[in-house]
Structure 1
Amino acid sequence: MEKNGNSLIFKNQTIFYNDRPILSYASDKTFAFIGRGTEQVKMYRGNFDIQDYVESRVPLNHFEIAETNEAITFNLSSNGQTQLLQIRTELDKFGRLVLKLISKDKTYNRLWLRLPATAQEKIYGCGEQLSYFNLRGNHFPLWTSEPGIGRNKSTLTTFKADTQDNAGGDYYTTNFPEPTFISTQKYYCHTNSFVYVDFDFRNPEFHELQYWGIPESIVFETADTYNQLLGKLTNLLGHQPILPNWTDEGLLLGIQGGTQRTYDTVDKLRAAGVKIAGVFCQDWEGTRQTSFGKRNFWNWEWNPALYPGLDTKIHEWKDEGIRFLSYINPYLVDTSALYAAAAKNGYFAKNSDGSIYLVDFGEFNCGVVDFTNPAAFDWFKELIKTNLIDFGCDGWMADFGEYLPTDVVLFDGSDPMIRHNEWPALWAKCNHDAVAEAGKTGQIVYFMRAGATGSQRYCPMLWAGDQSVNWSLDDGIASTIPAALSVGMTGMGLTHSDIGGYTSMHGNVRSKELFMRWAEMSAFTSLMRSHEGNRPAENFQVWDDDDAIQYLAKFTDVFQRLAPYRRTLVAENNEYGLPVQRPLFLEYENDSVAYDIQYEYLFGSDMLVVPVYQETQTDWDVYLPDDEWIHLWSGQEFHGGHHTVAAPLGEIPVFYRKKSEFRTLFTEITNQKYSNY
C-alpha cells in the first residue's frame, strides 16, 4: 500500500516501510514476546532502585495475517493457541508507519519487540544521554530521575555517592529519557507511551524494545537525509519556540545572596567589560542550609528579607538592560505558606489513606502538586503568572519534575508508574500555558533539566542538569557534549549547561581552569549561563579573580558578536527541527568517521567546536570533515582530517567553513585584540 509517497509492503515474512525492514518473522526467529512481571521501585531523593521479577515471557511464534488496502494486521499467539497480541500496521494521513498494539488480556504487562538491525548500524537519541552518543552496544533503561553523582560505577566519586548517599547513578541515568531514536538506516522510531522501557541495542541482528505495559502505538518515518528526518520527527513531537533576542546580549549571571550583592557584582563585572544579559537569582524566595549545601526555601514568592526592594529594582535593572530570572519547581516545602494553601484545597498527591504524600528532598519534606487535578494545575499556573511574571521576572529555572513517586495516589486515578515519565512534560506545559496566557511567549525564557515526550513544544530551553565540578567523562564538562547531541537527535535542539558545573561533593571542588574551559565552550551554545554551585563558598567564583573576569569578558563578547549567526540557528531549530549543536554527520553524511565523534560538535552548519575537557592542556586533537576550514583565532586554513592544534586557555579549538555566508562576522572575532591567557 502507498500513501503520500510512502510504501508499506509485506514480503518474505517481513514488513518493509519505504524499503526498510521493520518487523521480520521467520519460523526460527520470533520478533515479539508477551509476559507478566512484578516490579519493585524504591526512590531515595530522586534516585531510583528498580527491580523486576519476570513471571512469564511467552514467545509469540505463531501469527495470522490479514492484509487490506488500509492495513496489515498480525494476530499473534503462542503455538497457535489463543490470540495474545494484535499488531495493526498502517500508514497515517502523513504517510507515517504506525504500529497499533492491542492485547485483550489485561493481565499481560510486559512486551518485548524486536526490530531488524545490522551489525554496522548506529543508533542515536533516547532523550538526553550523557555517557554515549552512539547507543549501539548498550541497553538503556528510560526512566526520568536524578542522573546521579559521577555516573560511572568504576569511579571513586560514584562509589562514595553510592555508599554514602545512594546517589551514584550510572551511564544511562538521566533527567530526560524518551523512547525515541534515530537509526543510520535513516528512520526514526517513536513510542507513544510513558511506561518504563528498556531499549537494548546490543544484538547485531535486532534491537529489542522492552515495555512494562502494552504501548498504544509505535511510529516510524524515513527520509533521504538526517536533516529531513529531524524535520519530520519534530513535526510529530513539536517545535521549540524562538528565543527572546535579549538572551543573545550576554551572560545570564548565576548569583545568590540578596539585592545588594547582586547589584554590586553586576556593577563590578560590567565595568570590566563582561556582557551581562540577566541575573539568575535562584534564592529569590529564601534559602536553607543542608549537608548537601546551600538550598532554596521552596515557597515560590519573593523573599523581601533577603532581596529588599527587589519589586522596584527588578524594573530598574531591566531599564539598564539586565533581566531578572528566578527559580521555581513543582513542589512546596511543608513549612511554607503556599503549602498550607495548597493543602487546604486538596492540590497535593496523596497516600493511600488520603493524607498528603511527602517527599524527602534532602533534609526537608515537600508536597507534590498533582497536575492530574485540573484545579491544582490551574492554581499553580496562576501562581507562576502572579508571583513570577507579574512580579517582573523575564525567566526562571523550572527545576525538577523527576520525583513523582510510584506509590502516590493521583487525583484522576491514573497509574503513577506510567505518569512518572510523563510528569516533566506536564510540568513544562504548566509553565508554557502560564507564559502563553500572560501574552509573553517569545519574551520570557524558562529552562528545564527534566524532559519527556511533549517537552519539545512546551520547553523553550533545556539545560544539562547538575554536572560535577570536575573533568570526568560521564559527569563533568565532557558529558554535556553528548547530552546536547543526543537530545538534539530527539527533537530538542536548544540546550546549555551550568558554566563550571554544579555538584561539589566527595572531594570535587571547582577550579579556575575548569570554569574558564566551561565558559569558552558555552560561548558556542544556545545560551550562556553560570551557576555558583551547591557549595558556593568552597568553589571558584569568577568575581573573585580579576584574570578570570577578563577571560569571561572575552567570551561574553564573542557570544554577543555571534548573535546574528545564533539567531539563524535558533530559527532553523524552530522551523526545521535542526539542533543548534549538531553531530558532524548531520552535515557530512558521507564521512564515516563523523558517526563516532561525540566530544566535538557543529555549532550550526558553519562552525565546528572542539571543547577541551581535560585539565592542563595546551594542545588538542581535532577531527575536521572534508571541507575548507578556518581556525577562528589564528585565521589559519585547515582541510579535513585529524590535526593537533594549539589550544591554550582562551583559544578553544573552533573552526568555521571558509565558504560560510557569515565569514565576515567570524573574521571580526579573529581580528579582535583580546587578552592572552
Structure 2
Amino acid sequence: MKFTEGMWRLREGIRIDWMSNVERLSVDNETVDLLLNKLQRHRGDTLNSGTITAQITSPLEGIIGVNLVHWAGALDQGPHFELASSTGHVQIAHTERQSLRYGSGPLSLAITTAPNELEFNFTGADKPTTKLTGHSWRSIGYVSDQTTEKSRWEDGLYLERQGYMLAELDLSVGEKLYGLGERFGPFIKNGQTVDIWNEDGGTSSELAYKNIPFYISSAGYGVFVNNPGKVSFELQSERTTRVNISISGEELQYFVIYGSSPKEILRRYTALTGRPSLVPAWSYNLWLTTSFTTNYDEQTVTGFLDGFRDRDIPLGVFHFDCFWMKSYQWCDFDFDSDMFPDAAGYIKRLKERGLRISVWLNPYIGQASPLFREGKENGYFIKRTDGTIFQWDNWQAGMAIVDFTNPAARTWFSDKLTHLLNLGVDSFKTDFGERIPYKNIRYHDSSLSPTRMHNYYTYLYNQTVHATMLCHPDHTSKGNAVLFARSATVGSQRHPIHWSGDSESTFPAMAEVLRGCLSLSLCGFIFNSTDIGGFEGTPHPSIYKRWVQFGLLATHSRLHGSSSYRVPWLYDDQAVDILRDAVKRKIALSPYLLSSALEGSKTGVGVMRPLFVEFPTDHNVYALDTEYMLGDGLLVAPIFNEEGVVRFYVPQSKEGTDGQWVSWFDHEKVYEGGKWYEETHGFETLPLLIRPGAVIPVNWKMKGAEEDPLDGLEVLVNGRLDGEVKVDIVNPDRTDEVLKVVTIGMGPDGVVVDQEGVKVVRVG
C-alpha cells in the first residue's frame, strides 16, 4: 500500500510516526527487545507520540526475525503459520548506547543504538562488510489513516484512525527480487505492487491463486513476512531504493533468511516453513481429463481411452472433472447416476486397464445437494456474525462453505472422501479455496480472524484432503499421496501438487504459466503442472503441440480444457506423434525426475527451477523467464510461436567443469556456455540440452513411471566428470526411499560404472 506522494509528501489524511531512536533495550537469553521512538531532542519528545517495540529472535540458524509491535493490547488471533524453531545458535554482543550485534550462524544483524541514529544492517558471512538489507532513515513506522470509514470527525479527541505497520527494507544497486508465490506477470518483481491475497483471477492477471509472503533477492537473502492475512509489498514501486511492507494492524514480523546461494536460501526457508512432501511415482505419468463443460459419459470416456491405447500413447491417470456430479449439487461426492449408472463397476473397469482415477472437488456445498441440510443441522459451514450460514450464488446456487476449523466438519468431509477412496479413486483435484469471505464472518473456532483465514483457508482444506488420503490403506504403505490443488499459502508445499489454474489457449498464456511455475518454485514448491493446451478456448494445433512439449517436461502433465477436449487426434495426426514421443520421453526420464524430487524434498529446490538457482554466478541468467532447468542437468527452452523460432541463452558452467552442452535429440549438436543461440525447430524437437558433467539416469524400457527402474537402466554422461558421481535411483513403490545408488567415475578408458547391469552412454 502506498502512503506517500513522492519522497517528501504524505497522502492527505496520512500520518506516520517514524522511529529514529532506541530508547532502551534488554537482552533475555537469545531474545533482544528494543523500545523505539521518534527523534528525541528533549524529554518532552517522549509525550504524545507512539513507540514501537522491536523484538529480535532467531528460530533457526541463518534466520533472524524482527517483530515490530505498536499497540500490544490486541487479541492474539490466529491462524498462525506452522514454523520450526531451535535454540543454541545465537551470539549477542552489546556496547551500551552505541551498538548491538545479533548473530545467527552466518547471518548477522547490527543495530545502531546511539541516540537518534537508529539503523539495522544485515550482513552475511561470505561478505561481512557488505550490507544485505536493513533499515536506514525513516524506514520503521506506524501509519495512521483518517480517510477510511473508521474515522468520524464528530468523535473529536477520540477519533479513530486505521493503523498500519510499515517496514521498509533497503535495496542495493542492481538488486533483483523474485517469488511472492505463483505470479504470472513479470518474473522480476522490482517495480511491482503485490498484495498477498488469494483470488480466483485466472493466469492473465495480477491476481494470484497462490500468494506467498516470501521473496528472494539476487543479493543473497530472502524475506519472509510471518502473517497469513493481507500483506502489501511495494517493491521499488513507492520508494525506489526500498521494499515497503505494510500490514493493517498493530504488528508486523519478518524474517531475513541468509544464503550464499539461492539453493541455500530455499533450504533454510523450507526448514522454517516445512519441507515439500513427495508424491507417488504413478502420478508422473500422463493425466487425461474429461475437460470442464464438455459432454461426457461412460461411452465418451471409454472412446478416449481406446483412442490412446490404439495409438500407443501411454496414459496413467484419468480425471473426472466437475460434471461427474449432478449440476447444482457440487459437492455431494456421488457420481451422476444418469451419466454413470454403475460408477463402482466403471471405476473397476478403468483400473483393470491399469489407470489411476482422479475426481474433482471443492470445499463448497450447493443448496440443492442432499448434504446441505446435513451440514446446516450440524454446524459444518462458515457462518455470518448473526449466526446464519454464509451463502451466495457465485459458482453453485445457494452454496455454503465447509468450515475446516470445526473438527467435526473435517471428519465429515474426510468421511465422504474415504467413501470415494474405497470405490477406487486415487487422487483428488482440490479446486478453489480462494473465494473465502472475510467480512461479517464467524468461524467455529471463534479465536480465528476471518481476515487471516482468507488466505489460510486453503491450507486447512488441502491438509484435510491430503491427510485423508495418507490414512487410507491404499496410501499408508506408500507414505505419499497426490492432490491437484489450485490455491496455496505458506506451508502448502506439504500438500502437493499444484497446477497453474485457468489459462487461455495462446502462446502468451503458455509463457505466463511458465513464469508462474518459476515464481512458485522460488517459494519451496518442488512440483508443478499446467493445463496442457490452455484451459479457455480451443488451441490452434501449433499451440497444442508446443504446449505438449513444454507440459511433458514438467513434473506433472495433464491434458485439460474448459469447453473442448484435449485428445491429440482432434487437432491433427502430427499432434498424436508429438504427444506419443513426449510421453515416452518423460517416462524414460522418470528415474531422473524422481531422484530430483527426492533431493527437492530435502532442500526445497524445485525440480523445475529458474536458471539463476542453478547458475548464481552467471549474471546473464537473472532476467531469464522463458527457459528453465529441469533438475540440475537439463535445460529446457520451450517454443512460444507457430514458426518454431526460439532464442535462448546457454549458461556458463561452473569453474573447473570442462565440456559443452549437448542436444538431447542430436548428440553431435553442441553449445558453448555463456552464449545466445537462435534456432528454428519443427514440432518434433525443441532446445533440450544436457549440461556439461551431467549424469542423467534414463530407462527406455519402462512403460510407466511406477515400473522397475533398474531393468533397462541407462546413465547418460556428458563429457568428463569432476570426480566420482553417485546417482540415487528412487524406489517407485516408496518415493522417499533409494532403491540403489549408482556410482559413476572416471577410469583410464573414460567413464566407468561400478554397478553391474547399468549401461553408460557417452553423449559428449
Q: Is TM (by shorter chain) over 0.5? A: yes
Local SS of the residue matching 1:463? coil
Match of 2:670 among 630, 637, 658: 637
Q: Does 1:276 align with 2:319?
A: no
- Note closer, same or farther for the CA distance 1:105–1:85 as it changes in structure 2 (3 Å cut): farther
For 2:304, the equivalent position in structure 1 comes to 265
Number of the residue aligned with 2:95: none
Question: Contact (CA 8 Å) 2:696, 2:716: kept in 1 or not?
Answer: no
The one-letter code sitting in structure 1 at the alignment partner of 2:682 is: P
Q: Deviations over 1:88-109 (max 9, x none)?
A: 1123354521222333254864
- Secondary structure of the residue aligned to 1:423 is helix
SS at match of 1:132: coil
Partner of 1:100: 67
Residues 535, 562 of structure 2: 8 Å contact kept: yes
Runs of 4+, deviation exceeding 6 Å? 663-670
The one-letter amino acid of 1:467's match is S
What corresponds to 1:333 in structure 2? 366
Label 1:394 to 1:284 Cα distance change in 2 as closer, same or farther (>3 A): farther
> What residue is the counterpart of 1:453 in the other structure?
490
Match of 2:337 among 287, 291, 304: 304
2:592 and 2:52 map into 1 onto residues whose CA distance is: 51
Alignment of 1:148-547 (within 5 A): 148=202, 150-151=204-205, 172-202=206-236, 203-215=239-251, 217-255=253-291, 257-283=296-322, 285-288=324-327, 297-362=330-395, 364-386=397-419, 388-407=420-439, 408-413=441-446, 414-439=448-473, 440=475, 442=479, 444-457=481-494, 459-472=495-508, 476-504=509-537, 509-531=538-560, 533-536=561-564, 541-544=567-570, 545-547=572-574
User: In 2, are the aligned partners of 1:333 and 1:365 still within 8 Å (CA)?
Assistant: yes
CA distance in 2, matches of 1:436, 1:665: 29
Give yes or no for contact 1:142–1:196 (8 Å, CA) kept in 2. yes
- Measured after TM superposition, the shift of residue 418 of structure 1 is 1.6
Over 3 Å counting, the alpha-carbon distance change for 1:117 and 1:216 in structure 2 is: closer
Amino acid corresponding to residue 604 of structure 1 in structure 2 = G
8 Å CA contact retained: 2:466, 2:482: no
User: What's the offset of the Cα at 1:651?
Assistant: 1.3
Residue 619 of structure 2 corresponds to residue 592 of structure 1: yes
| Residues 457-492 of structure 1, C-alpha deviations (whole Å, 9 max, x = no match) | 2x11010111112223xxx11111111111111111
8 Å Cα contact 1:112-1:210 kept in structure 2: yes
What's the CA shift for 1:74?
2.6
- Aligned-residue identity in percent: 23
Instruction: Mark the structure with the bigger radius of gyration.
Output: 2
Alignment pair present for 1:66 and 2:25: yes
Secondary structure at the residue paired with 1:344? Answer: helix
SS in 1 for 2:536: coil
Aligned to 1:143: 197
- Structure 1 unaligned runs (5+)? 1-28, 36-51, 152-171, 289-294, 671-677
What letter corresponds to residue 553 of structure 2 in structure 1?
Answer: F
Relative distance call for 1:599 and 1:259 in structure 2 (3 A) is same
Q: How many residues align?
A: 584
Letter in 1 for 2:487: A
Q: Is the 8 A contact 1:297 1:333 kept in 2?
A: yes
1:11 equivalent in structure 2: none
TM-score (norm 2): 0.72
Structure 1 pair 93–465 and aligned structure 2 pair: CA distance change class (3 A): closer
- SS of aligned partner of 1:567: helix
- 1:398-437 Cα deviation digits (max 9, x unpaired): 0000011122222222321221011111111111221222
Question: Is the alpha carbon distance of 1:435 and 1:109 closer, same or farther for their aligned partners in structure 2, counting shifts above 3 Å?
Answer: farther
CA distance in 2, matches of 1:261, 1:53: 62
Partner of 1:84: 51
String of CA shifts for 1:352-406, please: whole Å, max 9, x gaps.
33222113324733101111222212211222222x2122111121000001112
Mapping of 1:1-40 within 5 angstroms? none
After superposition, the Cα gap between the structure-2 partners of 1:84 and 1:390, relative to the gap in structure 1 and judged at 3 Å, is: farther
Mark the CA change 1:393 to 1:214 in structure 2 (over 3 Å): closer, same or farther: farther
Q: 2:588 aligns with which of 548, 561, 568?
A: 561
Specify whether residues 663 and 623 from structure 1 end up closer, same or farther in structure 2 by C-alpha distance, changes over 3 A only.
Answer: farther
Which TM-score applies when normalising by structure 1?
0.81
Letter in 2 for 1:584: L
Contact kept in structure 1, 2:285 and 2:556, CA below 8 Å: no
Letter in 2 for 1:478: A
- RMSD, aligned α-carbons: 2.7
Contact 1:470/1:510, CA 8 A, preserved across alignment: yes
CA offsets 1:550-578 (integer angstroms, 9 cap, x no match): 22111111111111111111111112211
**2-side partners of 1:54 and 1:570: how far apart?**
51
Assess if the C-alpha contact under 8 Å between 1:195 and 1:215 holds in 2: no
Q: Do the aligned residues in 1 keep the contact of 2:72 with 2:250 (CA within 8 Å)?
A: no
Q: In structure 1, what is the Cα distance between the partners aligned to 2:670 and 2:639?
A: 20
Equivalent position SS for 1:228: helix
CA apart distance, 1:495 = 0.9
* 1:576–1:669 Cα change, 3 Å: closer
Give the superposition deviation at 1:150. 3.5
Offset of residue 664 of structure 1: 6.9
Name the aligned partner's letter for residue 483 of structure 2: Y
Q: Identify the residue that residue 20 of structure 1 maps to in structure 2.
A: none
Residue 224 and residue 389 in structure 1: after superposition, are their counterparts in 2 closer, same or farther (change >3 A)? same
C-alpha distance in 1 between matches for 2:384 and 2:218: 46
Letter of the 1:77 partner, please give it: N
Q: Which AA in structure 2 matches 1:104?
A: A
Q: Which residues of structure 2 form unaligned runs of 5+?
A: 1-6, 40-45, 75-159, 654-659, 701-713, 718-764
Q: 1:148 to 1:481 in 2, by over 3 A?
A: closer
Residues 617 and 581 from structure 1, CA distance in 2 versus in 1: closer, same or farther, beyond 3 angstroms?
same
Amino acid at match of 1:454: G
What secondary structure is seen at the aligned counterpart in 1 of 2:246?
strand
Question: Could you tell me how far 1:286 is from its partner in structure 2?
Answer: 2.5
Deviates more, 1:249-258 or 1:277-286: 249-258
Partner Cα distance (2:662, 2:228) in 1:
45
Q: Distance in 2 between matches of 1:89 and 1:332?
A: 45
Quick one: distance in 2 between partners of 1:91 and 1:360? 46
Task: After superposing the two structures, state which structure 1 stretch, 212-221 or 235-244, moved more.
Answer: 212-221
- In the other structure, the counterpart of 2:720 is none
Kindly indicate whether the alpha-carbon contact (under 8 Å) linking 1:193 and 1:215 is maintained by their aligned counterparts in 2: no
Alignment partners' CA distance in 1, 2:271 and 2:288 = 31
